[in-house]
């Protein structure tokens, strides 16, 4: 088969990754599997198998072997098997990213295609925030859904990609081209403000932290320019928040206000402890708890979920209940109903890991991820590659304590995680596993 045609085929598949995620989990999975199986076929044709011997691939395979073990000790094998056994696709996806970004310089242009799509999606967020519906009619209530129809995750999606694409633009920009650099900075602010407008508080906070650290680390601006620019940006954002009833409600009344004084903290604590934990018979047909009948009860829901997750961990201290078994434990194990809230996951990464993987599994997972992070840190410090900095910050911010999060091993979250994780290595020849 013509090698040029194959390369273009892979270029299209990688370019479509963000679009496929927005299109739905099934489309995203099909696209990832096409990349994975096509890469294995490509490796077979070109007899490119040395990557299997690379230490990072071996480490990820150890990760995979642990997940298989996790399925074997899970409360319900069938619930965790597909998720755990299917994890091998991300090991191969990691290799595929590294291979094509190493062998073909033009593959970096994929990030520009992602940037164009992100601009379109961001425009749709602003459109929906003004009109109440997005450009094809999706949207309801006071949350922004964009093309995700009824899932408030568009802010997290933009958070996953915006610094990657901005980092690519800065890599292509000359350091002394201040006009171009400030234009990219402006585009970054447009992305960030869109994330904040979605009302996704956790993603808004994470995106803002990433934004500040990213601009302090890159070398496209002087220290003076960085300080002045960031100060002005934060002031402008603060003014916009003060003049938006929606943002005041989401970020102040439903979050900051809960901890704004001693009396507020006591009231919040009493609210967390005050509502009893319902039995399985009181759950709705789809096994989701209908939390609280008033605004103040809904405001503290995450703390109740955290408490439930800790209870699961305490009862399964060593190995946890098994990947994707949290919902099985909290919704169906009636002997513990008084301490649980029925939910698919506890909405916090560390608590989820502890509940589903126990002490042993959590140590294995975090040790592997943070070992690879620290291994690449010196390369990032030396090269100051902006794409790598962006990906590194996303991985790091995924493990911020206390802030709510999606299910770490859920298809949506783990796909976004491994796109950033793969590019963190692939985007720089010094760290790319095919360049050594």
Residue 356 is assigned to a structural domain of this protein: no
Task: Please answer whether residues 328 and 364 qualify as being in contact, where contact means their C-beta atoms are separated by less than 8 angstroms.
Answer: no
Residue 212 lies in a domain: yes
CA distances from 61 to 56, 87, 161, 348, 397 (A): 9, 10, 26, 25, 24
Is residue 141 domain-shared with residue 23, that is, in the same domain? yes
Can you give the pLDDT at residue 352? Answer: 97
Distance CA 88, CA 82 (A): 11
Lowest mean pLDDT among 122-131, 145-154, 259-268: 259-268
Q: Is residue 77 part of a domain?
A: no
Task: Let me know if residue 325 belongs to a domain.
Answer: yes
Range of the domain at 265: 252-350
CB-based contacts of 235: which residues, under 8 Å, 6+ apart?
none
Question: Do 238 and 151 lie in a common domain?
Answer: yes
Is residue 367 included in any domain, yes or no? no
> 337 pLDDT band (50/70/90 cuts)?
low
pLDDT in tens, 407-419: 999 999 999 999 9
- At residue 435, the pLDDT reads 83
Residues 331 and 211 in one domain: no
Any domain includes 303: yes
pLDDT of 53 higher than 90: yes
- Burial label for 99, CB within 10 Å (0-12, 13-18, 19+), is buried
> Is 0.85 topped by the overall pTM?
yes
Question: pLDDT > 90: what percent of the chain?
Answer: 66
Least confident of 42-51, 90-99, 211-220, 257-266: 257-266
């Amino acid at each position: 088969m013509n090698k040029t045609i194959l390369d273009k085929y892979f270029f299209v598949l990688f370019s479509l990754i963000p679009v496929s995620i927005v299109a739905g989990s099934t489309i995203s999975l099909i696209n990832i599997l096409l990349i994975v199986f096509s890469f294995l076929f490509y490796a077979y044709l070109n007899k490119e198998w040395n990557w299997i011997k690379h230490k990072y691939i071996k480490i990820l395979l150890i990760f995979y072997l642990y997940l298989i073990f996790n399925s074997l000790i899970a409360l319900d094998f069938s619930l965790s098997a597909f998720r755990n056994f299917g994890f091998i696709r991300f090991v191969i996806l990691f290799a595929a990213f590294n291979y094509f970004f190493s062998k073909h310089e033009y593959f970096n242009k994929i990030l520009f295609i992602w940037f164009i799509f992100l601009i379109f999606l961001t425009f749709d967020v602003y459109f929906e925030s003004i009109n109440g519906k997005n450009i094809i009619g999706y949207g309801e209530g006071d949350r922004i859904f964009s093309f995700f129809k009824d899932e408030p995750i568009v802010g997290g999606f933009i958070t996953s990609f915006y610094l990657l694409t901005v980092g690519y633009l800065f890599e292509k920009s000359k350091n002394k081209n201040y006009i171009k650099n400030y234009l990219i900075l402006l585009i970054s602010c447009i992305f960030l403000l869109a994330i904040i407008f979605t009302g996704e508080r956790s993603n808004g906070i994470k995106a803002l932290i990433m934004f500040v650290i990213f601009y302090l680390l890159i070398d496209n601006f002087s220290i003076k320019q960085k300080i002045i620019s960031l100060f002005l940006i934060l002031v402008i954002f603060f003014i916009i928040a003060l003049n938006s009833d929606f943002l005041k409600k989401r970020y102040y009344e439903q979050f900051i206000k809960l901890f704004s004084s001693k009396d507020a903290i006591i009231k919040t604590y009493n609210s967390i402890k005050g509502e009893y934990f319902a039995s399985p018979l009181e759950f709705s047909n789809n096994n989701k708890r209908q939390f609280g009948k008033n605004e103040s009860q809904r405001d503290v829901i995450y703390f109740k979920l955290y408490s439930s997750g800790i209870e699961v961990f305490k009862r399964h201290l060593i190995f946890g209940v098994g990947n994707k078994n949290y919902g099985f434990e909290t919704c169906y194990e009636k002997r513990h109903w008084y301490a649980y809230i029925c939910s698919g996951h506890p909405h916090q990464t560390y608590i989820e890991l502890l509940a589903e993987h126990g002490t042993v599994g959590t140590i294995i997972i975090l040790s592997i991820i943070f070992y690879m992070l620290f291994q690449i840190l010196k390369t990032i410090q030396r090269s100051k590659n902006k794409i790598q900095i962006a990906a590194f910050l996303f991985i790091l911010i995924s493990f911020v304590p206390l802030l709510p999060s999606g299910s770490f091993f859920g298809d949506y979250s783990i796909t976004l995680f491994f796109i950033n994780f793969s590019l963190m290595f692939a985007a720089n020849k010094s760290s790319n596993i095919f360049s050594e």
